[in-house]
Amino acid sequence: MAAPSRPRRAAAPARATRSANPAADAGRAPLPGLDWRRIAYHTLCSRALDDVEETTNRNRASVPKDHVVLYQFSARGHDMAQVILGSMLTGRRDAAGAYYRSRPLLLSLGLPLEDALGSPLGRAGGFSDGRDIGVVCNLPNRDGAVVLPMSGDVGSQYTPIAGWAQAITYHRDTLVDPSYADGIAVALGGDGSVATNGFWASLTMATTLKLPMLFYIEDNDLGISVRGDMQTPGGNIAKNLASFGNLFIRDGDGTDPHETASLLAECVARVRSGAGPALVHLTVPRLSSHSGPDNQKGYRTDEEIAADVDRDPVPKLRDYLVPAFMNEAAWGELEAEVARDVQAALEAARARAIPDPARIAQHLYADPDASDAFGGLTAAERAALGGTDAPAEGGDLLRLAEAIRRTLRHELAVNPKLVVFGEDVGKKGGVHLVTEGLQKQFGADRVFDTSLSEEGIIGRASGLAIAGLMPVAEIQFRKYADPATEQLNNTGTMRWRTNNRFAAPMVVRMPGGFGKDVGDPWHSLSDEVRFAHAYGWQVVMPSNAADAVGLLRAAMRSPNPTIFFEHRALLMTGDGSARYPGDDYVLPLGRARVVREGEALTLVTWGAMVHRCAEVAAMFDDAVELLDLRTIAPWDREAVLASVRKTGRCLVVHEDNLTAGFGAEIAATLAQDAFWFLDAPVERLAPRDIPMPYHPVLLEAVLPGATQIAEAVERLLRA
The residues annotated with a catalytic role in the active site are: 523
CA angle 298, 302, 307 (to 5 degrees): 125
- Using alpha carbons, select from 510, 538, 557 the residue that is nearest to residue 377: 557
CA angle 555, 414, 563 (to 5 degrees): 15
**Cα–Cα distances in Å, from 346 out to 76, 131, 133, 595?**
18, 20, 18, 61
- Using alpha carbons, select from 497, 422, 417 the residue that is nearest to residue 458: 422
Cα distance between residue 470 and residue 418, in whole Å: 5
CB 185 within 8 A of CB 95: yes
Element (H, E) at 283: strand 278-283
CB proximity list for 179: less than 8 A, separation 6 or greater: 92, 93, 171
Cα distance between residue 75 and residue 73, in whole Å: 7
What angle in degrees, to the nearest 10, is found between the helix axes of 485-497 and 158-169?
Answer: 80
Q: Would you call 700 exposed, middle or buried from its count of C-beta atoms within 10 A (0-12, 13-18, 19+)?
A: middle
Handedness of CA 664, 666, 667, 673 (dihedral sign): positive
Q: Are strands 562-567 and 683-685 parallel, antiparallel or unpaired?
A: unpaired
- Using alpha carbons, select from 195, 187, 260, 189 the residue that is nearest to residue 227: 195
Q: What are phi and psi of 89, to 5 degrees?
A: -90, 75
Peptide linkage before 634 cis (omega within 30 of 0): yes
CA angle 636, 639, 643 (to 5 degrees): 145
Type of residue numbered 715: R
